[in-house]
Chain A
């Protein structure tokens, strides 16, 4: 069966450290993979998109890797800040629709 899974447990880290979130999938062949941020009671906000032929993408303190052999994406936030606390969603882009994981809640403590 097709599945997309993110760290099920909340991630708690200290301010200034690097947060690493994992997204694994099975039985999909996405052309793109996207990461979104969602704050409580609000809609997801787009962060980064990575294509199947790209290994790594960076934007300011954010870095995404995409390994189509392992069927895994890693999402890193360096020099994390309390304002980075939110739920982070990965989404596979499968012809005309986004398939989302369940999200990982990140909490950055001062």
Chain B
């Protein structure tokens, strides 16, 4: 069984740029959630995708957007990057449309300069 994978592992961008982060869900999982984790804080929910539709969103501006593909993999896009977007971005997959046990990937560390 393949776990959740994310790419890239690290990324450096400058303010105002755009970034795309990728996530492959665990085999058999149809739901993907994205979280932002600032240093020393717990993960904050960005949004969730279930069967290619957004299925819940946290308190993040519209410049955070996402996609889920037919194979349940997912992308997180962030436009007009700000310094405060520097964080660890975590993807988690689960097997139902409602959040239960979530299986996290290793994360993508984004640094915005």
Q: Which residues of A contact B (CB under 8 A)?
A: 32, 34, 36, 41-46, 49, 89, 91, 93, 95-103
Contacts and interface: CB of A to CB of B under 8 A. Distances in A.
Given A96-B98, A97-B99, A98-B99, A42 B106 contact: yes
Given A96-B98, A96-B99, A43 B42 contact: no
A99 to B, nearest CB: 7
Given A41-B106, A43-B107, A102-B42, 15 more contacts: A32-B100, A41-B109, A43-B106, A44-B43, A89-B43, A91-B42, A93-B99, A95-B98, A96-B99, A97-B45, A98-B43, A98-B102, A99-B45, A101-B42, A102-B41
Contacts of A43: 4, 90, 92, 104-107
B40 interface: yes
Nearest to B98: A96
A89 B44 CA distance: 12
16 contacts: A42-B106, A43-B92, A44-B90, A45-B104, A46-B102, A49-B101, A89-B42, A93-B99, A93-B100, A95-B98, A96-B48, A96-B56, A96-B97, A100-B42, A100-B43, A103-B42
A106 B41 CA distance: 15
B109 to A, nearest CB: 8
Interface of B: 4, 33, 35, 40-45, 48, 55-56, 58, 90, 92, 97-107, 109
Contacts of B44: 100
Q: Which of B55, B90, B101, B105 has the most CB of A within 10 A?
A: B101
Contacts of B90: 43-44
Contacts of B107: 41-43
A103 B41 CA distance: 7
Contacts of B106: 41-43
Given A34-B101, A43-B107, A46-B102, A96 B55 contact: yes
